[in-house]
A = this chain, B = another copy of it.
Amino acid sequence: MVEREVRVLLAGYGTVGRTLHRILEERAADLARDHHVRFRVVGIARRDRVAASETGFDFGSPNQLPWKSGTLFDLMGEVKGDVLVEATPTDLAKGQPGLGHARAALRENMPVVLANKGPLVVAYKELTERAEKAGVPLRFEATVAGCIPTFNAVRHAFAGNPVSRIEGILNGTTNFILTRMLEERREFEDALREAQSLGYAEANPTNDVDGLDAAAKIIILGNALLGLDLSMDKVETAGIRSVSRQAVEVAANRGFKVKLVAEVDRQGKARVGPRLVPRGSTLDVSGALNAVRFSTELAGPVTHIGPGAGGGPTAAAVLSDLLDVFHNGSRGGSGLRSLASTATKS
């Protein structure tokens, strides 16, 4: 039974945005039964085009949507949303356009769910303060390690059990490359080309192979879970371009794997770089997997392993955030309208 209807504005309509749209439609009956909520995508902004519908869009070909010129800001004037899902491409330098989108939504006291790291890397403190002032939730489970429990897990499962240190294999592309260098005895450049041809690495691979993507994720983890105020310039960052096949093999012969490890501790020391990880340790994950290890005060290290990227895992993380905010209307603080007060029909 649907007790609440939630009108979703989507900024960005690439793999994550489209996968989320499809999942919200395919799983509508289950979400109504298990969570008493129905999500309707009533507005989509994609680069310089927008599409709006008071009754919501069914999922289908993007080409069939009634696109017209405009930005998210135009869209927000045209159709009323209950939440903004921000899934535009990541810009680690300025955070745009996601940062402007998040600010605009929070100005209107609209909850924000981010799948985009950029705004958090550039302006974590500003955005969390804006959200607190507006009294609405700002969620970002999808920005680190897909739907592997990170932020939600720590808030709930480790409540009262402080995390002192976080380490992770947070970039699937470099982990794939390093795995192939070892298993197929390839040099870095060869393995990179393979990753590009398989779609694991972008044409311009710098964010991945130079460690910037992993640095962005460790910043978000440190700021959100350890109360830090990190930015890119405070993370000692090295990538894997200089890792040779020989180094990978020598390490393997001595019982180690070369991994791009991101780490941060409660004192604010944060770094990303190639490290030797003992074979068989919980950070020794292969292929495009991610691993996040939390050192907890009361229980020692707990490690979560799973897919860290891709449309399904990322959209699943966004969905868990949406349900955390809107499930049963019981969470998320003020600013959330109940179904009874929305203008649409169920």
**Interface residues, chain A, with chain B CB atoms under 8 Å away:** 23, 27, 30-31, 34-35, 141, 146-149, 152-153, 155-162, 280, 282, 284-286, 296, 298-307, 310, 312-313, 315-317, 319-320, 322-324, 327, 330-331
Q: Are A302 and B149 in contact (CB under 8 A)?
A: yes
Q: Are A306 and B306 in contact (CB under 8 A)?
A: no
Q: Are A160 and B304 in contact (CB under 8 A)?
A: no
Q: Are A160 and B331 in contact (CB under 8 A)?
A: no
Q: Are A141 and B162 in contact (CB under 8 A)?
A: no
* 15 sampled A-B residue pairs with Cβ under 8 A: A34-B160, A146-B299, A147-B158, A147-B298, A148-B302, A152-B153, A153-B156, A159-B319, A161-B319, A280-B280, A298-B312, A299-B307, A299-B316, A302-B307, A303-B306
Q: Are A298 and B313 in contact (CB under 8 A)?
A: yes
Q: Are A282 and B280 in contact (CB under 8 A)?
A: no
Q: Are B298 and A316 in contact (CB under 8 A)?
A: yes
Beyond A149-B302, A299-B313, A303-B304, list 6 extra A-B contacts (CB 8 Å). Answer: A23-B160, A155-B156, A159-B323, A282-B285, A298-B313, A304-B305
Known contacts A147-B298, A298-B313, A312-B298; A160/B320 CB under 8 A: yes
CA gap between A179 and B24 in the complex, in Å: 44
CB distance from A217 to the nearest CB of B (A): 16
Q: Are A305 and B306 in contact (CB under 8 A)?
A: no
CB distance from A17 to the nearest CB of B (A): 15
Nearest 5 pairs of A and B residues by beta carbon: A302-B306, A149-B157, A298-B316, A299-B313, A159-B323
CB distance from A4 to the nearest CB of B (A): 14
Q: Are B159 and A298 in contact (CB under 8 A)?
A: no
Give the chain B neighbours of A299 by CB distance below 8 A: 146-147, 306-307, 310, 312-313, 316-317
Q: Are A320 and B285 in contact (CB under 8 A)?
A: no
Give the chain B neighbours of A324 by CB distance below 8 A: 156, 159
CB distance from A102 to the nearest CB of B (A): 22
CA gap between A323 and B305 in the complex, in Å: 26
Give the chain B neighbours of A34 by CB distance below 8 A: 160
CA gap between A178 and B141 in the complex, in Å: 37
* Contact of A157 (CB < 8 Å), options: B27, B285, B320: B320
CB distance from A170 to the nearest CB of B (A): 15
CA gap between A318 and B138 in the complex, in Å: 28
Q: Can you name the residue of chain B whose Cβ is closest to the Cβ of A303?
A: B305
Q: Can you name the residue of chain B whose Cβ is closest to the Cβ of A286?
A: B280
CB distance from A228 to the nearest CB of B (A): 16
Q: Can you name the residue of chain B whose Cβ is closest to the Cβ of A34?
A: B160
CA gap between A317 and B330 in the complex, in Å: 23
Q: Are B315 and A298 in contact (CB under 8 A)?
A: yes
Give the chain B neighbours of A300 by CB distance below 8 A: 306-307, 312-313
Give the chain B neighbours of A280 by CB distance below 8 A: 280, 284, 286
CB distance from A18 to the nearest CB of B (A): 14
Q: Are A157 and B153 in contact (CB under 8 A)?
A: yes
